[in-house]
Amino acid sequence: MTIDVYWGSGSPYSWRVLLALEHKALPYKSHLMSLAMQEHKAPVFLVATANDIEALPPELLRKGRFDEIFFVDLPALEARHAIFEIHLKKRKRDPAQFDLGALCEASDGYSGAEIEQAIIGALYDAFAEKADLSTRHVLGALKSSPPLSVTMAEKVAALREWSTGRCVPAE
């Protein structure tokens, strides 16, 4: 059986679901979510994200609308390693040329999007130096831009506390 995965264009965590399916070697087809899925006759796995779940109406969150609500926390060490590999390869860089261990340690508390932006910023820095992108550039970009887990630490802690007992941990 192939799993149909529908995701929204603004979903920052859909890639984690797709990465997990890839890792487990489960067959799936990825679809951008649309109204057409309402007529879907086969099993559907719907991925939806919310920046502020408490702003959603309760009737949307009840059983029957969504089977489960998962809490996807910031990526752990292994996930950050995969994120760096994905975004370095996306920019035609060989991850083996970077100290991924150092990058993963330095990016604790960063989201996948923040890691991607650090790589993009590092590319600009390397270009300005007329140098090849290196671990040093990415570490510098990470250090110069604190993640939301630092700048909004109280909100992140509150969200983690809210999810306890209300959501299924994704990891």
Q: What does the pLDDT look like over 75-128, one tens digit per residue?
A: 999 999 999 999 999 999 999 999 999 999 999 999 999 999 999 999 999 999
CATH of 77-151, one of 1.10.1200.10, 2.40.128.110, 3.30.365.10, 1.10.8.60: 1.10.8.60
- Please list the residue range(s) of the chain that carry CATH number 1.10.8.60: 77-151
Tell me the pLDDT tens digit for each residue of 37-62: 456 666 666 677 777 788 777 877 77
Q: What is the mean pLDDT of residues 15-37?
A: 69
Rounded Cα–Cα distance for residues 47 and 34 (Å): 12
* Contact present, 114 and 151 (Cβ < 8 Å): no
Q: Is the pTM of this model over 0.85?
A: no
* Contact present, 119 and 138 (Cβ < 8 Å): yes
Q: Name every residue whose Cβ is closer than 8 Å to that of residue 104 and which is 6 or more positions away in sequence.
A: 77, 80, 81, 84
Interstrand relation of 168-169 and 28-32 (parallel, antiparallel or unpaired): unpaired
Does 103 or 4 have the greater pLDDT score?
Answer: 103
Closest to 49 in 3D by CA, of 99, 89, 94, 15 = 15
- To which residue do tokens 């975004």 refer? 87
Chain centroid to CA 166:
21
* Contact present, 31 and 6 (Cβ < 8 Å): yes
